[in-house]
Structure 1
Amino acid sequence: MTRLLVECTHVFKNPRVNSGIQRVVRNVINQLPPSAEGVECMPVILLNGKLYRVTRLAPLDSPLSNAIVRFGERVGRLAHRFGQLYHRIDRRCRTKLTRRALYVAYRLSAFALFGIPPRLVQRVNRYQLPQRCEPLQHRPGDQLVLLDSSWHSDFFPHAEKLKREGVGIIAVIYDLIPLTHPHFYETRLVQVFSEWFDWITRTADGYVAISATVRDQLREEIKHRIGSTKAEKCWFDYFHLGSELDLQSVNAVVDPRLEHLFTTQEPVFLMVSTIEPRKNHEYLMDAFDRAWATGSNARLCIAGNIGWKCDALLARVRNHPEYNRRLFMFNDLNDTSLEYAYAHASALVFPSYVEGFGLPLVEAMQRGLPAMGSDIAVFREIGGEFMAYFDLQDPQRLADLVTAFECSGRFPADRDVTDWQWIGWREASLQLAERTARHVLQTPATPTKSLALAPPPEAHRPGAVVRFGR
């Protein structure tokens, strides 16, 4: 009998990571229905060549374990920034000998500074493992739904073995941006994602995107890679994401600096995203510089973790004459603070070049906060007539929207955001399960056969960690 085995390995091992994909996985798993279309649904992980059913996604609430995990996460962030520093220096090296010496120094330093904390976290996870999951025996006809960011993982040989033994593979695709816009990312990340996508193309029986826009892009990419005839043997669908912020806590407090930002009468325009090139913060800064130059009193609040290729932008923000006057930046807001920002801001601004979905738009609009976004297809899919759109070729377009809204008090969209409705995470999870189950039930079973799949590339082995932003 068919079962949907919804994979959440990376979030299981890193439960407190809270960027876009991790938020999606955590919420879908927590709201996963027990069955859809008569098909049993269950969360699973793949660890050390074994399949486990997840009984508890969140880690056990132990003060010592929590402290070790939090320490490990902080060290992980420091290691990430240390790696970014190494890459910046490496690009400036002129000789092969210098680069080699730098690489050796980097590896030795990284091992000495950051080697022990991850091992402590691994020990905590191994101790908690029997209390959070249980071994699961797969069956022919099961469907492994790769919901999590599986490019992080090293379970590809195991997944291939499952496929040879009659388990279907379904890939959830968040976007194709590292393939279509590689210049927005570090070279290593593009390499890892490209190799992962090659593997998915050879392995998956079906694909579920997070928007109709991505589904259509994906279908064309698969046709291009394997031809229309083979692509037609696969199925393609999509589901939409929810909007609740699930990591709020009654014990968490709103950042006092954020509260102070909203104590004046001036309108506050909020941008929520990881700080990285494709989010287009430079355009945002240019637009507000123009608005301020014409006398606008609007405030701009940038909220998001520090990502990659953003040193120049960070310097521009921190050295700006309006910094901490009309320009503010927060890089570590918790969900409680983020909820407060959504509730008190005047509008969301989102000038991203390209997105797979645009989760902050949904989070904002579902709370009645109107949104201004770049005029791209997926934003039109989500916002329709309820959003205001601007051309990315000219920052003056956004500046005009800001000043017009500030002066008139009327948001420049065709329809009022209070009439806009969206699904929550329960509906999103059900949508994923039902649409996947329908395709699986409609697709004729194929006989089990040995697959001639290439071995997993080096980038997929343990330690090849990449991060994608919200």
Structure 2
Amino acid sequence: MNGFGDAPIFLDVTRLLHRLTRGRRPTGVDRVCLAYVQHFHHRAQAMVIWGGVALGFSPSASVAIFDWLAGWEDGERIISLASPLGAVLKWPLRTVPAGSWVLNMGHSGLDQRSYHGWLRRKNIRLLVMVHDLIPITHPQFCQAGAAKRHAQRMGLILEQAEGIVSNSRHTAQMLDDHARQAGALVPPVAVIPLGAKKHWNVCEDAPGAAAGPYFVMVGTLEPRKNHAFVLHLWQRMLDEWRAADIPHLLVIGQIGWMCGGVVHQLRTDERLKQVVHLITDCDDARLGHYVHHAQAMLFPSHAEGYGLPLLEAMDLGVPVLASPLPTFHEMAGMVPDYLDLGDEDAWLEAILDYAQPASARREAQLRRLQGFSAPRWADHFTEFENFVSRL
């Protein structure tokens, strides 16, 4: 069933084009947006928020933009995309017709008054995804002003959205709590898990990033991800353990915000650099290689709305040591080893154990992983289309 009827469908690509043209690699939110690009490639037109105004591209320009965004996701070099994409972005833009469906999965413009007015004037049927409420619930881990902007986004979503997709029951509960505190009603919500990557083109001839056993952390460097905690663990290893017992750590992710101290430590502490390796520009093939051969992925986050790296590590059959967040329990059940962030010794004990060639604890998680099945994007979009048909 086509729940969209005959109304035009516009897919907001503002965030994706902004990041692509600045030479960034896709983050977790970007990859969710890109999954929607792939699914709606031949059914939707691209739109952007430009100077506070919503404008759409023609069908032919939209197909070209979607193709280049697919190349960006697949790791094609930014320089090869920039010139033709720049030409397309100069093509004429047009207004989005009244009564259109707009899919805004990256939150572009949702904190702007002009967007609010446009939705009302044009009777736009807005579909959004709420990824998390972390700037509101955990402002200490976010940039100045993030909590206010996110509250404005949530206010607009609660007032204007035709339907909301939530990536987890935990996120949906946080949204419900926020709405209740704000005295707002919640539009129809569908909790639909995000999909794991369908296949990893693991580059088996990738250069070895570490000699001997190693662990990985994957994600943008920002305070919420808790890199400082893990670096402290490795400092303790250097101070307390025999050198032969210290595994390596690959910190894989782009430089984010409020992480200057962590980045400085990673780049200047010569002793730490012998065992901890910062990789800020890693394509999917190398990432798949590094994760696939790791002893485990470390995920000591303070807060998460979902956690795609954790899901995809498990989908590759790689064990995970994680903080006991509600969303992790929802996604992964009792497969990972959950460790309290207040217990450094427990983390050190687990890392030492998992680094051993015959770790009974790691083998136990590998057995649990055999019964784990990650969600797929195909299932996500089946549920999404069913949700739209009920609106």
Q: Is this contact kept in 1: 2:298–2:320, CA < 8 A?
A: yes
Partner of 1:55: 63
Q: Summarize the Cα distance change of 1:204–1:386 in structure 2 as closer, same or farther, 3 Å threshold.
A: same
Provide the C-alpha distance between the structure 1 equivalents of 2:331 and 2:300, rounded to a whole number of angstroms: 15
Provide the C-alpha distance between the structure 1 equivalents of 2:213 and 2:78, rounded to a whole number of angstroms: 39
Q: Is this contact kept in 1: 2:135–2:147, CA < 8 A?
A: yes
Partner of 2:293: 344
Q: Percent identity?
A: 21
1:261 to 204, 209, 213: 209
Shift of 1:283: 1.3
2:359 to 406, 409, 431: 409
Highest CA radius of gyration, 1 or 2? 1
Most deviating of 309-318 and 373-382: 309-318
2:194 to 214, 237, 241: 241
2:13 counterpart of 1:5:
no
Query: Which segments of 5 or more consecutive residues in structure 2 lack a partner in the other structure?
Result: 72-76
2:114 counterpart of 1:157:
yes
Q: Is this contact kept in 1: 2:45–2:56, CA < 8 A?
A: no
Query: Which segments of 5 or more consecutive residues in structure 1 lack a partner in the other structure?
Result: 35-40, 71-119, 441-470
Matches within 5 A, 1:214-293: 214-227=171-184, 230-231=185-186, 234-244=187-197, 259-262=207-210, 264=211, 266-292=212-238, 293=240
Partner of 1:182: 139
The 3-state SS of whatever aligns with 1:45 is: strand
2:38 to 30, 41, 45: 30
Q: Summarize the Cα distance change of 1:328–1:15 in structure 2 as closer, same or farther, 3 Å threshold.
A: closer
Shift of 1:27: 1.8
| Deviation sequence 1:210-264 (CA, Å, 0-9, x none) | 111101111111121124xx34xx2222211122288969xxx8996xx2324x3
Provide the C-alpha distance between the structure 1 equivalents of 2:341 and 2:208, rounded to a whole number of angstroms: 32
Matches within 5 A, 1:281-320: 281-292=227-238, 293-295=240-242, 296-320=245-269
Counterpart residue identity of residue 233, structure 2: A
2:210 counterpart of 1:206:
no
Q: TM-score by structure 1 length?
A: 0.68
Provide the C-alpha distance between the structure 2 equivalents of 1:316 and 1:434, rounded to a whole number of angstroms: 49
Q: Is this contact kept in 1: 2:111–2:156, CA < 8 A?
A: no
Matches within 5 A, 1:126-137: 126-127=89-90, 129=91
Aligned length, in residue pairs: 364
Provide the C-alpha distance between the structure 1 equivalents of 2:95 and 2:12, rounded to a whole number of angstroms: 14
The 3-state SS of whatever aligns with 1:275 is: coil
Shift of 1:159: 6.0
Matches within 5 A, 1:358-369: 358-369=307-318
Shift of 1:6: 5.4
RMSD over aligned CA atoms reads 3.3
Name the structure, 1 or 2, with higher relative contact order (CA <8 Å, separation 6+): 1
Provide the C-alpha distance between the structure 2 equivalents of 1:323 and 1:435, rounded to a whole number of angstroms: 50
| Deviation sequence 1:94-114 (CA, Å, 0-9, x none) | xxxxxxxxxxxxxxxxxxxxx
